[in-house]
Amino acid sequence: MKAKLTFDLPDEQHEFYCATKGQDMISVLWEVQKELRTLWKYEELNADEQLIVERIREKFYSILEEHEINLNK
């Protein structure tokens, strides 16, 4: 199966950018997820820091879910 995307440049420059940088964007999200997990699981954080990391992780996963983004695909 093949898929072809076409863009009317320069009018659809933003859409073209998103399509061509999609893999890089997923990689960045994967790295952020990994760093948040490392902070949460392995770093020695005080109670306030732990709470902040947990809140950020929860929000991060909530945003991913809202946009139906699965980093494990």
4 vs 6: CA distance, rounded Å = 7
Establish if 48 belongs to a structural domain. Answer: yes
User: Span 26-44, mean pLDDT?
Assistant: 95
Asked whether residue 65 carries a pLDDT value surpassing 80, the answer given is: yes
Judge whether residue 73 has pLDDT over 80. no
**Structural tokens at position 24:** 């890089």
Q: Which domain holds residue 45?
A: 24-66
**Is there a domain that residue 49 lies in?**
yes
Q: Report the number of distinct structural domains present in the chain.
A: 1
Q: Crossing angle of helices 47-66/13-42, nearest 10°?
A: 150
Q: Which residue has the higher pLDDT, 57 or 73?
A: 57
* Confidence (pLDDT) at 14: 96
In a domain, 55, yes or no: yes
pLDDT band per the 50, 70, 90 thresholds, residue 72: confident
